[in-house]
């Protein structure tokens, strides 16, 4: 057996074209494009790299990006004041807080002060709660939303299936588990401290891995014919590695997302889709 590879580029391209047309129409109608503000404190390379990726995503669909770059020595009060300005700026439709933040900045306090209606990353507790309760409106974090779009496009049957999510982060593992639950899967959330983890993984019809440990999951963890979603992104020797050993997993799984080229291309397009939703809500609230 050799798994069918679920590559994100095709679906990403289709979504990108659709959003580009909508953003152009909005700009023609209102004279201003949907705008995403990205708040960065300091010059951490990871945050800077993410900002570059967001810039490319905005350019691809015709959105405006407003980078707000604060000095690494900025105080909690100063960062919160900048965030408040963005919350109150009617020309800003979406806001992202880029991580990692300097150690002296309490990210949880920042997130709690983020306007939920502009929280396109889906990190505010209100949006997390709406997702858990399956209530609209809410923003789903872009990475798990992109994975679900990939699986749906591939015709994966969710109803009644056993799903295991390895990873419990607030932006990938937990929301992915909820999205699967909402599609009538029976969901187990596992993590690096789960006892007999390989045996737990082998129960899964749908296995999602988001632990940040490169090539941790091997073929003997996989139920034959399972669908495997690999969220891992770790650079080793200049190469991007997933959390799965692709060669051995591919020999057992029925479908899997490769790294690179799987969930990655869809993630930032889904972020732009969230920006569009935020724009539409704020535009409607303004009576336009």
What are the pLDDT digits (tens) for 211-233?
999 999 999 999 999 999 999 98
Residues 106 and 149 placed together within one structural domain of the fold: no
Q: What is the mean pLDDT of residues 69-85?
A: 97
Whether pLDDT at 288 is above 80? no
174: in domain? yes
User: What phi and psi, each to the nearest 5 degrees, are found at residue 186?
Assistant: -95, 115
Quote the pLDDT of residue 137.
Answer: 65
Residues 261 and 167 placed together within one structural domain of the fold: yes
Q: What is the mean pLDDT of the chain?
A: 94
Whole-angstrom CA distances from 203 to 25, 186, 221, 247 are 47, 11, 9, 20
Quote the pLDDT of residue 30.
Answer: 81
252 versus 287: which is more confidently predicted? 252
Residues 258 and 164 placed together within one structural domain of the fold: yes
CATH number of the domain within which 155 lies: 3.40.50.720
Residues 148 and 72 placed together within one structural domain of the fold: no
Quote the pLDDT of residue 281.
Answer: 84
49: in domain? yes
Quote the pLDDT of residue 7.
Answer: 94
Residues 164 and 259 placed together within one structural domain of the fold: yes
2: in domain? no
Residues 199 and 105 placed together within one structural domain of the fold: no
Residues 207 and 244 placed together within one structural domain of the fold: yes
Residues 97 and 167 placed together within one structural domain of the fold: no
Q: How many domains does the chain have?
A: 2
45: in domain? yes
Supply 175's token pair. Answer: 């929301």
- Note the pLDDT tens digit of each residue in 118-167: 999 999 999 999 999 998 767 999 999 999 999 999 999 999 999 999 99
Residues 240 and 146 placed together within one structural domain of the fold: yes
280: in domain? no
206: in domain? yes
DSSP string over the chain: --PEE--SHHHHHHHHHHHHHHHHHHHHHHSS--EEEEEEES--HHHHHHHHHHHHHHHHHT-EEEEEEE-TT--HHHHHHHHHHHHH-TT--EEEE-SPPPTTS-HHHHHHTS-GGG-TT--SHHHHHHHHHT-SS-PPPHHHHHHHHHHHHTT---TT-EEEEE---TTTHHHHHHHHHHTT-EEEEE-TT-TTHHHHHTT-SEEEE-S--TT-B-GGGSPTT-EEEE---EEETTEEE-SB-HHHHHTT-SEE--TTTSSHHHHHHHHHHHHHHHHHHHHHHTT-
Q: Is the pTM of this model over 0.95?
A: no
Quote the pLDDT of residue 49.
Answer: 86
Residues 104 and 197 placed together within one structural domain of the fold: no
Residues 178 and 258 placed together within one structural domain of the fold: yes
Quote the pLDDT of residue 203.
Answer: 98
87: in domain? yes
CATH number of the domain within which 42 lies: 3.40.50.10860
Q: What is the mean pLDDT of residues 176-196?
A: 97
Quote the pLDDT of residue 60.
Answer: 94
Residues 149 and 240 placed together within one structural domain of the fold: yes
252: in domain? yes
Structural domain including 76 reads: 31-115
Whether pLDDT at 183 is above 60? yes
């Amino acid at each position: 057996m050799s798994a069918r590879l679920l590559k994100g580029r095709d679906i990403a391209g289709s979504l990108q074209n659709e959003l580009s047309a909508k953003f152009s129409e909005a700009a023609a109608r209102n004279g201003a494009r949907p705008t995403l503000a990205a708040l960065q404190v300091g010059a951490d390379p990871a945050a800077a790299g993410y900002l570059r990726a967001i810039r490319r995503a905005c350019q691809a669909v015709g959105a405006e990006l407003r980078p707000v770059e604060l000095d690494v020595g900025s105080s909690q009060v100063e960062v919160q004041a900048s965030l408040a300005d963005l919350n109150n700026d009617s020309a800003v439709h979406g806001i992202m807080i880029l991580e990692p933040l300097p150690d002296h900045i309490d990210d949880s306090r920042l997130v709690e002060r983020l306007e939920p209606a502009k929280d396109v990353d889906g990190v505010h507790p209100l949006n997390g709660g709406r997702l858990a309760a399956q209530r609209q409106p809410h923003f789903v974090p872009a990475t798990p939303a992109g994975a679900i779009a990939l699986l749906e496009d591939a015709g994966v049957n969710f109803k009644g299936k056993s799903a295991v999510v390895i990873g419990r982060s607030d932006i990938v593992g937990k929301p992915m588990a909820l999205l699967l639950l909402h599609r009538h899967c029976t969901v187990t959330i596992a993590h690096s401290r789960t006892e007999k983890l390989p045996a737990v993984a082998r129960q899964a019809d749908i296995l999602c891995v988001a632990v940040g440990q490169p090539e941790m999951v091997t073929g003997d963890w996989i139920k034959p014919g399972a669908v495997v979603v690999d969220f891992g992104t770790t650079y080793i020797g200049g190469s991007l590695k997933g959390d799965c050993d692709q060669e051995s997993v591919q020999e057992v799984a029925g479908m899997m997302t490769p790294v690179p080229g799987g969930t990655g291309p869809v993630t930032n397009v889904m972020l732009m889709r969230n920006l569009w939703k935020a724009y539409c809500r704020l535009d409607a609230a303004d009576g336009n």
